[in-house]
Chains A and B, each alone.
Chain A
Amino acid sequence: MVECLVAVSLLAVCAVPVLSAINSAQLQSTDAKERLIVLQEVHSEIEACRGLVRRGVLSPSLMEKELDLPLVSTPLLIKTETTLVPGYLTLYQVKVTATWSRSSTPIELTAWMRAPDG
């Protein structure tokens, strides 16, 4: 009986690192997939701002919106901050930041746009 218990304990000890390695790999793979999707979402926001420039309606502002993307496990908060670059009258800096609770580091993209840009 003691031998059996020892054998089972040894097997359990071996199984724990295998399971934790698989779990860790799966978490990292999910994290990478989510970051890719969020990065593209942030890029889309920048492109939408370029559309606003062409319409001539870009102005200093701070906008926040919450998205529930199907392939991202937690809701995504997208913050778009538009500021006038010091020393310029028509050059804007657009900074888009995406945060979601699963990821410890947010994704941030910055672009510069001239508005109006005819």
Chain B
Amino acid sequence: MVRRGYTYIEVILAATIGLAIFGLSAMFYAYTVTRSAHAMSSAAVLTEADRLLLSVRKTVESAYSVTSASYAMKSGLKCVMPLDGTDSDGDGRLDNWSPYKIAAGKPRFRPGKRVWFYFSDTSGDFTRDGPILYRAERFDDSVPTALDVDKNWTFYYGKAGHRSYNLIGDFKWTVDSLGGVVTLTIDLSKALRGDIKADDANSGRQVRIQRKAYWRNWRT
């Protein structure tokens, strides 16, 4: 006798197995997409933190002196850069510094522009509070104003409103003037809140990246 079609049991069994496979695949897909999104956001935050630390560290390492300057209840990281140097990327600002003379076998530098890092609002004025991290340059020791802002560093392509560092929740610094070392700390707790270790989340411990930079061009 030739068997035709399927029995009811077979159809039910096939449908159950099919549904189970579909359900597992959907769960696996959702899990993969979530993990992938976490990985991408985590990579974006870490890349931005790394980019910021690299930029500030390069400035600090090239500095003649560094202080944490306060004015009107606000503080900024003030780096006095050497006077002599070259602008290698053509943006009108010095980015490689050199001694003005060698004496007793050691390179000697003289103070030049003051490079500031500070938080402010959209105005860029040092005295105002805000979430935007600015870089500014001045020739004297006065606090920076909106006119001194390095727009190409602060914003993408210098376009206000498009912050270069918009994922960084908190950026702090401490200056050891005796040793010539600046400790830079970035708090990533908010940006990585879905991707931090369980014990960090449970203990409320903050996720911080900390780097030290030594300013090298201090000899006068």
Do residues B211 and A44 form an inter-chain contact, with CB atoms below 8 A? yes
Do residues B21 and A48 form an inter-chain contact, with CB atoms below 8 A? no
CB contacts under 8 Å to A, within B1-58, are 13-14, 17, 21, 32, 35, 39, 42-43, 46, 50, 53
Do residues A36 and B50 form an inter-chain contact, with CB atoms below 8 A? yes
A51-B211 contact given A4-B14, A11-B21, A70-B197, CB 8 Å threshold = no
- Measured between beta carbons, the chain B residues less than 8 angstroms from A37 are 209
Docked pose: A1 CA to B16 CA in angstroms: 13
Binds A, one of B81-89, B148-156, B159-167, B174-182: B174-182
A55-B179 contact given A70-B207, A70-B208, CB 8 Å threshold = yes
CB contacts under 8 Å to B, within A69-112, are 70-71, 73
Instruction: State whether the Cβ of B213 lies closer than 8 Å to any Cβ in chain A.
Output: yes
Question: How far in angstroms is the closest Cβ of chain A from B126?
Answer: 27
Residue of B nearest to A57 (CB): B179
The total of chain A residues at the interface (CB under 8 A) is 25
Do residues B196 and A70 form an inter-chain contact, with CB atoms below 8 A? yes
Do residues B212 and A51 form an inter-chain contact, with CB atoms below 8 A? yes
- Measured between beta carbons, the chain B residues less than 8 angstroms from A45 are 212
Question: How far in angstroms is the closest Cβ of chain A from B56?
Answer: 13
Do residues B181 and A22 form an inter-chain contact, with CB atoms below 8 A? no
Residue of A nearest to B182 (CB): A47
- Measured between beta carbons, the chain A residues less than 8 angstroms from B70 are none
If over half of B's interface residues share one DSSP class (helix, strand or loop), that class is named, otherwise mixed; here it is mixed
| Most chain B CB neighbours (cut-off 10 Å) among A4, A33, A36, A71 | A71
- Measured between beta carbons, the chain A residues less than 8 angstroms from B211 are 40, 43-44, 47
CB contacts under 8 Å to B, within A39-70, are 40, 43-45, 47-48, 50-52, 54-55, 70
Question: How far in angstroms is the closest Cβ of chain B from A68?
Answer: 9
Instruction: State whether the Cβ of B214 lies closer than 8 Å to any Cβ in chain A.
Output: yes
Docked pose: A102 CA to B200 CA in angstroms: 19
Do residues A47 and B209 form an inter-chain contact, with CB atoms below 8 A? no
A4-B214 contact given A48-B181, A51-B180, A70-B207, CB 8 Å threshold = no
Instruction: State whether the Cβ of A8 lies closer than 8 Å to any Cβ in chain B.
Output: yes
Do residues A22 and B32 form an inter-chain contact, with CB atoms below 8 A? yes
- Chain B residues with CB under 8 Å of chain A are 13-14, 17, 21, 32, 35, 39, 42-43, 46, 50, 53, 176, 178-181, 192, 196-197, 200, 205-214, 216
A selection of 13 A-B contacts at a CB cut-off of 8 Å is A4-B17, A8-B21, A26-B39, A40-B50, A47-B214, A48-B179, A48-B181, A48-B212, A51-B179, A52-B179, A54-B180, A70-B200, A71-B192
- Chain A residues with CB under 8 Å of chain B are 1, 4, 7-8, 11, 22, 26, 29, 33, 36-37, 40, 43-45, 47-48, 50-52, 54-55, 70-71, 73
User: Lowest 4 A-B CB distances belong to which pairs?
Assistant: A51-B179, A51-B181, A50-B214, A44-B212
Q: With contacts A44-B210, A47-B214 known, what are 9 further pairs, Cβ within 8 A? A: A4-B14, A8-B17, A36-B46, A48-B214, A52-B179, A54-B178, A54-B180, A55-B178, A70-B206
